[in-house]
Structure 1
């Protein structure tokens, strides 16, 4: 068997740490940190576009009330949310265990690890959270409704059109409708999870624009290539919302469209019209 090098390194308390133990501890630290960061990164949600669905069958709603059983799709979504939470907790735990192992092996000392690192992490986390939150806050008034018009769109039913030129970056409006505060409310209304006008802002806010009087955003059609509108979700902060902006200069009479995203069409179980 190959011989293992046993170089001796002095430690701060007068003990000695062999070379292969030092390398092993360092490898455990690096692997644990990498696994922790990967697990934490996998918790970010993907959902940049609102899942939208058609109204559910009244009989399905009656059945759900009679059995008190959650629809399979709701159970799947709840499981995904639990896995995300577990992944974040698991990642943070690995980072903590790696740090404790490094302290135990005297590769780093307690003051050097917890005092500067904790303060720096707290400060950077606060700055990042504030920056992201404030970057999505929208205090400008929406575009005047007289500059927008709902009229038939060829092959798509009704659509939303610009009645006058709109400059790129203009704040158009928010997605409006009845606010549902939980998955239970969402699936009580749509047991099959297919609400055609549901916009998911975050895990505790779903906006149902099924009512034709909900607002103008509900009238926008889908286009993947060259959309004229960009959606941005304000997931955190005091005013969660879904904002819409002009993705480029829009000419008068041009239709306002945005990309619904693959997740929307997967949830609906249909294929979008070819462009």
Structure 2
């Protein structure tokens, strides 16, 4: 990887450190366990209720291999936790595409970036569809000093074999040059 310049303000960016040396990742690992306890659930995993497979022109998607009830927790969104500045630098330097990042906090103070060469968390494979969405994001907040833990929950019953779908929100598409009046956006949202 690149050589860190200790004088650079971003020298300690989480994108420049191996996973074991990312304290926020370690903290989130602990918070994920606490979130499972708070949600009173054990999470399904790839091969145990969930499957990643081709989803047509949307690339890969996440599919149910068993029925899910409405309100069932699908998974916790994990990845590199970065400040706004670290995330912006990662985008600029090509360390992240931003395609698998979600903003956290009331002012988008932190980002969970699930783009990972070692494999993304299962819920990062959930595709967008406004019309057919069957899942929602939720957040477990422990204190105002710790990042919240984002998770995905079903918003309606899901049958085995059905693709899990979310609404990514308008800012996701606006940042990609696909604002609402764009006809391509209608295709993305409704088909």
Asked if these proteins are the same fold (TM beyond 0.5), I'd say yes
SS of residue paired to 2:151: strand
d(CA) in 1 for partners of 2:103, 2:122: 17
Please state which structure has a larger fraction of its residues in strand: 2
Alignment of 1:192-271 (within 5 A): 195-202=98-105, 203-211=108-116, 213-234=119-140, 237=143, 240-270=148-178, 271=184
Give the number of equivalent residue pairs. Answer: 144
Task: Tell me the TM-score normalised to structure 2 length.
Answer: 0.66
SS of residue paired to 2:52: strand
2:32 aligns with none
| RMSD value, Cα | 2.9
d(CA) in 2 for partners of 1:144, 1:206: 23
1:170 aligns with 72
State which structure, 1 or 2, has the greater radius of gyration over its C-alpha atoms. 1
SS of residue paired to 1:155: helix
Q: Rate the CA distance shift 1:184–1:239 in 2: closer, same or farther, 3 A.
A: closer
**1:147 equivalent in alignment to 2:43:** no
Contact 2:110 2:147 in 1 (8 A): no
Cα deviation, residue 255, structure 1: 0.1
Task: Tell me the TM-score normalised to structure 1 length.
Answer: 0.47
Deviation string 1:159-190 (CA, Å, 9 cap, x unpaired) is 1100111111111111111111x111111101
Please state which structure has a larger fraction of its residues in helix: 1
Q: Rate the CA distance shift 1:273–1:215 in 2: closer, same or farther, 3 A.
A: farther
Alignment of 1:19-98 (within 5 A): none
Q: Which consecutive aligned stretches of 4+ in structure 1 deviate over 6 angstroms post-superposition?
A: none
